[in-house]
Amino acid sequence: YKDPSNGLAVVKTLNISSYNTLIPSKLALDVWDMKAEEASRDGGTLRIFARIKVPADLAAMGKVNQVWQVGPVVSPDG
């Protein structure tokens, strides 16, 4: 989301087990080097980058399902 205090793109991790309330929290997978940037051409696209550690059992299955966008608007509190 874009931080309203400075206009910079920010990566937040949220618990989306419910669509009623989004709660800032850790993800089920270890995540680091999170970064967001706004695409300069259109001004409305945010690119999200991160490194994740996939547990061995999931890596062996060759499949991980992870949602990286919760919708078009996220507030500073989630």
Domain-located, residue 3: no
Instruction: Determine, yes or no, domain membership for 76.
Output: no
Q: Is residue 20 in a domain? A: yes
Residue 67 in any domain: the answer is no
Domain extent for 44 = 14-61
In a domain, 44, yes or no: yes
Asked if the model's pLDDT at residue 72 lies above 60, the reply is: no
Q: Average pLDDT, stretch 27-32?
A: 87
Please state the φ and ψ torsions of residue 32, each to the nearest 5 degrees.
-150, 175
Partners of 53 in the β-ladder: 30
Closest CA to 47 of 57, 56, 35: 35
Q: Is residue 75 part of a domain?
A: no
Whether the pLDDT of residue 33 is over 90: the answer is yes
pTM of the model: 0.64
Q: Is residue 47 part of a domain?
A: yes
Residue 4 resides in a domain: no
| E strand spans, 25-71 | 30-38, 46-53
> In the chain, how many domains are there?
1
